[in-house]
Structure 1
């Protein structure tokens, strides 16, 4: 059964640098553990906050090349990891996890929704799908963020890095009638090309479309499977139907309203289907908020695969899948005292990178390069007081 807002977590971690009004509108509270306290932000910057409405690849205020506003870390942090932004450690709440011996592999089915009038560049889906396949083929490796799954457990067994990716579904069904209303101010200036939203769907509509795909293909609904719905460009997404302007009752993708709250989220519906909602990524936006890497010190969108849309979307995709694996029912899995899941703890924390500026990467998976946020490790946190790592065998020089 769904809960009304405000939620403990479900949507994305909402981080902001220099936007206290947005934080206040979403009832955020700044949090940090004494073992990993960040250094003070530069003047005019706000610290990261924890949203009560959920989290995932949360929005962040874009870093201006002119101001260089970004949050730093204490020099006391262990060199092999970065500090979390919640109240770690993660605490087990008694429920199931995914990818155990009893559930089988964590089986991911990507769904790319391309309704009439909302074409999707095949390269966008192709790069994301290749990333997921690389994660699958690297199962058992200790060199990427998915290796942190090995340290968690649930009522149904111990989790493990064992990923299977099914053939991507291209969903050509038409969009339903708007479940939420696009504000006139949000019809332009949302994306880097200055375009905006022309449609809006709510969580119930995302569930209905995902369920239609699952039902049509006779796919299972259990803790061994997650269905990742990628929405097309120009489609706003809000958790609740109705107004996209009232931040007290709704949370939406990046817009000019107080409802601007998330880049993606994961959850489980009443039929037991674990799913993720992945709206088209927003960056270089007129709103000055971003789902991309022009935050936390990266003043550009890093594109190790030459496609800024796909390269941006890969990080929240990793974030949501990792969270679903360790907290699939968003209630009884692993999260900390402030409600932060493993992905939330390390949102927009990339750690050291390699490569050329503009195409930097921090993950080498199946010999290909990707930039994703780090993921949280209770083991590392116990040892170092930090917790955010790029892989369980990653060592920094």
Structure 2
């Protein structure tokens, strides 16, 4: 049975869930939780939030890491890395000059908003495959750990009733859902929450605490549509729920976010899992926007491990993410590679070969 961090019980529902969390996880069931007034009023530090988005296929990321706004490189360094074997390439290595925190091990918690796993092609199956794969060990060079089974799946959760009004989730909605989820399954750098937003629901959030201008996932409003997903973290104040890491994955099988036609599992599954993989790797290596990203290249400044390897193809008037078929764990997927400083290229295997 997996161990779950003990938290003060905030309700009878939370107490019951904490007692039975291990059994539910082992049975692959999804537990419905309630977002209460205490979750909706939970205080958090605005400066702890600064989303790191995945832009639309064929477009640059709409915002840099918050730290990247302060200063940037004045020129590109020379490319002195010879001999990268084809089809590898050398855009720019990642750096962590301030030794920001990384995620050395964690449980991944899918959180389905007004929906269920099948609405997204069962992304928990991909998380299970990723956890046991060699692919996940690409992060070892950044985390300083190479043990197996470090990024396993934890409790799967479901939340109903959001968005409260209209069809757009705002930042405060996401924060309330996260507070409720972390009150049940745990908080800190040992937990990553993946919020899955159903088809037809938009997401609009401020770029950072210093820029309140919202950026959106909004396929129904092309003028505002600038990102497919993002990862972030939030610190709650004077609260048993302290620091929470999370990703937000709106419905990905839409133009601008979907994988190219003809993928091995179909557009819904591979579009969802490609983005989930992208955000998972970036959360592990740069959970707060203060760790591993490009510091020394003008054109790629602020890019993270996934941004450097995100590829697209144009078919007719539309751009799609374009990734090869690769084996992740026990199954085949169309998912992107991730950047390896060890290879100075995008890779699906850790330095030294399969783990």
Q: Is the shorter-chain TM-score for this pair beyond 0.5, marking a shared fold?
A: yes
Name the one with the larger helix percent.
2
Q: Distance in 1 between matches of 2:285 and 2:351?
A: 20
- Using the TM superposition, give the Cα deviation of residue 124 of structure 1 relative to its aligned residue in structure 2, in angstroms: 3.9
Please list the CA deviations of residues 359-379 of structure 1 after superposition, one character each: whole Å capped at 9, or x if unmatched.
985321232111111100011
C-alpha spacing 1:276/1:292, structure 2 compared with 1 (3 Å):
same
Q: 1:152 is paired with a residue of what secondary structure? A: helix
- Whether the 8 Å contact between 2:206 and 2:214 is mirrored in structure 1 is yes
Please list the CA deviations of residues 18-56 of structure 1 after superposition, one character each: whole Å capped at 9, or x if unmatched.
xxxxxxxxxxxxxxxxxxxxxxxxxxxxxx63533569x
2:151 is equivalent to residue 151 of structure 1: no
Q: Normalising by structure 2, report the TM-score.
A: 0.67
- Which residues of 2 match residues 305-320 of structure 1 at below 5 A? 305=265, 307-320=266-279
Q: Distance in 1 between matches of 2:305 and 2:337?
A: 10
- Whether the 8 Å contact between 1:253 and 1:263 is mirrored in structure 2 is yes
2:88 to 59, 82, 86: 82
- Whether the 8 Å contact between 2:102 and 2:284 is mirrored in structure 1 is yes
- Whether the 8 Å contact between 1:77 and 1:83 is mirrored in structure 2 is no
Q: Alpha carbon RMSD of aligned pairs, Å?
A: 3.2
- Whether the 8 Å contact between 1:265 and 1:277 is mirrored in structure 2 is yes
Q: 2:152 is paired with a residue of what secondary structure? A: strand
Q: 2:252 is paired with a residue of what secondary structure? A: coil
C-alpha spacing 1:366/1:112, structure 2 compared with 1 (3 Å):
same
1:2 to 32, 38, 46: 46
Moved more, 230-239 or 122-131: 122-131
- Whether the 8 Å contact between 1:230 and 1:280 is mirrored in structure 2 is yes
1:11 to 46, 53, 56: 53
Who is 2:30 aligned against? none
2:206 is equivalent to residue 240 of structure 1: yes
Please list the CA deviations of residues 102-126 of structure 1 after superposition, one character each: whole Å capped at 9, or x if unmatched.
xxx3211111112xxxx55x53456
Please list the CA deviations of residues 282-325 of structure 1 after superposition, one character each: whole Å capped at 9, or x if unmatched.
43x3xxxx11223xxxxx251x23x4212211011001110010
1:203 to 146, 159, 171: 171
Gapped regions of structure 1 (runs ≥ 5) = 17-47, 56-75, 100-104, 179-197, 242-246, 295-299, 351-358, 382-386
1:270 to 235, 242, 259: 235
Who is 1:70 aligned against? none
C-alpha spacing 1:227/1:248, structure 2 compared with 1 (3 Å):
closer
How many residues are aligned here?
269
C-alpha spacing 1:211/1:248, structure 2 compared with 1 (3 Å):
closer
- Whether the 8 Å contact between 2:162 and 2:173 is mirrored in structure 1 is no
2:62 to 37, 43, 51: 51
Q: Distance in 1 between matches of 2:48 and 2:102?
A: 24
Who is 2:36 aligned against? none
- Whether the 8 Å contact between 1:151 and 1:160 is mirrored in structure 2 is no
- Which residues of 2 match residues 62-141 of structure 1 at below 5 A? 78-83=84-89, 88-92=92-96, 93-99=98-104, 105-114=105-114, 119-120=115-116, 122-125=117-120, 127-138=122-133, 141=134
Who is 1:392 aligned against? 350
- Using the TM superposition, give the Cα deviation of residue 274 of structure 1 relative to its aligned residue in structure 2, in angstroms: 0.4
Gapped regions of structure 2 (runs ≥ 5) = 1-44, 67-81, 237-242, 296-300, 314-321
Q: Distance in 1 between matches of 2:214 and 2:262?
A: 28
- Using the TM superposition, give the Cα deviation of residue 151 of structure 1 relative to its aligned residue in structure 2, in angstroms: 0.6
- Which residues of 2 match residues 178-197 of structure 1 at below 5 A? 178=165
Q: Distance in 1 between matches of 2:46 and 2:311?
A: 28
Who is 1:185 aligned against? none
Name the one with the larger strand percent.
2
- Whether the 8 Å contact between 1:293 and 1:348 is mirrored in structure 2 is no
Q: Normalising by structure 1, report the TM-score.
A: 0.60
- Whether the 8 Å contact between 2:48 and 2:234 is mirrored in structure 1 is no
- Whether the 8 Å contact between 1:91 and 1:336 is mirrored in structure 2 is yes
